[in-house]
Structures are given as C-alpha cells and as structure tokens.
C-alpha cells in the first residue's frame, strides 16, 4: 500500500476511533452517579420513522435521539444503551477497501474496550444492494464506576464504487451484551433492512 493510502487509512482510523469512543461513552452514561447503571429492555414493538441523511435514508425507532456531525449521524435510544452510527468519509475510487475499513474500525473499537473478544459473524453481508465487510467484538466499558459488557457490530463498504465521489461508509451498532440479541431483533435488523443509498 502506498504512503498516500496509508495516510488516508490512518485518518479514517482516527475518525472512527473518535466517533466510536464518543458513542461508547454516550452509551454508558458517564455521569458522576455511583449507582450501577440500569439497562432497559428493548421496547417490544417500536414505531419506526424515516430519516433522510446525506446520501442515505434509514428508519429508526420514533423516540430515539439523533445526533449529527460533519461525517456521521448517530441514533440512540433515550437511555443511551442502544446506538447505531452511520459514518462516511471521502474515499475517491475506493482506495481504502471495505475490509481495510472494517479492520481499522475494529482496531479502534478494541482499543476503547477492556477484555475485548472477537464475536464470530459472517465476514460479509448484503445490505442496500451492496456487499459490506462485517466484524464484531464484545468487551467491557466503564459506566458509573461499573464495568458494563457490550457488543459492537461493524459493517463497512464503499459507495458508489470506483468513482471520484466514492465514500467509505461504516455502520456501527452496539448495546448491552446481555440484551444484544433482543436489541438486534427489535431495533438493529429493522434499521439495517431499511437502509438505502440515495446518492
């Protein structure tokens, strides 16, 4: 890999690190309260509404909070226990591959967790008419003085493929490990199935 593309990958890794650290801290409610955090169960039948972002659309549970930044949009439940992040960075001609992007995001996630462990998932998935590289990890993070176990899934692709306007796109979702399967079924799978590229 050329020095130019190594530098681009390092910038993507740094941006991913900052975004993931922000989400993990938000998910864990880092207030000064010393009581153990309470993780709410996913709502049984959430109502979804549409969000149209820069070049994509996605449906999300109606009461969730949306935070936008220059290169990302984060969707979080009211407790901050369940989060889905859509991040995008310029990647002309797709010089950084989805596998490289997924591995870089995985490395930055591991660095923000204690006792991280790889979670076995298929290495690719099809979503929004595109193949995405997939990685997953579990570990613990500090919340109100308590170590909380969470699980994080990372999906990475480039879109549109091999053009001057290609962007690296990463979808990262996370939640309490003990309720992750329920949250995945209730929140994350419907959100991912609704995701579409609009540009």
* Average pLDDT of the residues in 170-197: 96
**Contacts by 43-47 with C-beta closer than 8 Å and gap 24+?**
43/186, 44/186, 46/186, 46/187
91: nearest Cα among 165, 157, 155, 19: 165
Lowest mean pLDDT among 37-51, 56-70, 178-192: 37-51
Does the pLDDT at position 90 exceed 60? yes
pLDDT, tens digit (0-9, with 9 covering 90-100), for 1-26: 444 444 444 444 445 544 554 555 45
* Average pLDDT of the residues in 175-185: 94
Say which residue the tokens 């979080």 belong to. Answer: 76
Residues 6+ apart with CB under 8 A from 70: none
Does the pLDDT at position 41 exceed 90? no
Structure tokens, 83: 């989060």
Q: What is the CA 192 to chain-centroid distance, rounded?
A: 11
CATH for the stretch 3-28+45-197:
3.40.1000.10
Q: Is 1 helix (H, G, I), strand (E, B) or coil?
A: coil
pLDDT, tens digit (0-9, with 9 covering 90-100), for 25-36: 454 443 344 444
pTM of the model: 0.84
Of all helices (H) and strands (E), which one includes residue 181? helix 180-183
Does the pLDDT at position 175 exceed 90? yes
Sorted by where each begins, the domain ranges of the chain are 3-28+45-197
Q: Find the DSSP H helices in 81-152.
A: 98-111
CA atoms of 151 and 179, how far apart (whole Å): 9
């Amino acid at each position: 890999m050329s020095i130019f593309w190594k530098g681009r990958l390092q910038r993507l890794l740094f941006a991913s690190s900052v975004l993931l650290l922000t989400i993990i801290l938000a998910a864990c409610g880092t207030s000064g309260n010393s009581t153990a955090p309470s993780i709410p169960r996913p709502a049984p039948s959430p109502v979804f509404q549409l969000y149209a972002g820069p070049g994509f659309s996605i449906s999300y549970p109606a009461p969730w909070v949306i935070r936008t930044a220059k290169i990302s949009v984060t969707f979080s439940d009211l407790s901050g226990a369940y989060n889905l992040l859509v991040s995008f960075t310029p990647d002309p001609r797709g010089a950084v591959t989805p596998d490289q992007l997924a591995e870089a995001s995985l490395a930055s996630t591991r660095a923000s967790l204690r006792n991280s462990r790889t979670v076995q998932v298929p290495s690719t998935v099809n979503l929004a008419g595109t193949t995405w590289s997939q990685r997953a990890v579990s570990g613990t993070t500090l919340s109100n003085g308590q170590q909380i176990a969470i699980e994080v899934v990372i999906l990475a692709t480039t879109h549109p493929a091999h053009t001057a306007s290609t962007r690296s796109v990463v979808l990262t979702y996370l939640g309490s490990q003990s309720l992750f399967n329920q949250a995945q079924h209730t929140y994350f799978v419907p959100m991912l199935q609704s995701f579409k590229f609009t540009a």
